Amino acid sequence: MQNRFTSIIVGCAVALTCVISNAAQTSAQDRIVVDSPTYTFIPMEIDVDRPAAEVWARVGGYCDIGEWFGIGCTMTSGTEGEFGSVRSVANEVLVGRTELSYTYTQTPREGRPYNLYHGTLEARPVTATTSKLVYTLIYDNSMLADDAAREADRARRLASFTRALENMKILAEGGTLPSR
């Protein structure tokens, strides 16, 4: 009985030592939580010469991003347009939806700090025959090296999503995108 009790104590001590050693080896870089996040947002919009409902019908599907962003998109979980559905683009999860909008998030990834990335796309009515597409990104940019890196990241995202909005406008107004 005494030997069995001693074996259990020794086993627990060895396990605890391994856990503490592993935790000590985990650097701040490996942590998913950022100590002092700095959230930034990028609001973008473009006028469209079509009613918002028509615009949304043409470019508002969750995987329509494949066409107007020029990337592949498939549903990897759930059903197109349903809460909690996941598209193959960065494993983005649909977390909010209205009749003319949706919001998605990117989930945490192994070995990378979580930046709380969210995007919202909306077709907003302006008049009975016109609308605007509004795309807003929000994320934590504190893990970037410095202000220059943060500005370069913002400029890159702004350029990419501005092109996407221009493509959505072309499609919503009945045009076709140029060949890639």
| 61-104: pLDDT as tens digits | 999 999 999 999 999 999 999 999 999 999 999 999 999 999 99
Within-domain flag for 18: no
> What pLDDT, on a 0 to 100 scale, did the predictor assign at position 18?
44
CB-based contact 100:81 (threshold 8 Å)? no
What is the SS3 assignment for 36?
A: coil
Within-domain flag for 30: no
pLDDT mean over 34-48: 94
Q: Any bridge partners for residue 138, and if so which?
A: 41, 118
∠ CA 86-171-136, rounded to 5°: 50
Please give the Cα distance from 156 to 57 (Å, whole number).
Answer: 28
Within-domain flag for 178: no
CA 93 to chain centre: 8
Within-domain flag for 7: no
Whole-prediction pTM: 0.81
- CATH number of the domain to which 51 belongs: 3.30.530.20
| pLDDT score of 10 more than 80 | no
Query: DSSP secondary-structure letter at 30?
Result: G
Domain total in the chain: 1
**Structural domain for 158, as ranges:** 36-172
**One-letter amino acid identity for 85?**
S
Within-domain flag for 9: no
Pick the closest to residue 107 from 94, 120, 98 (CA basis): 94
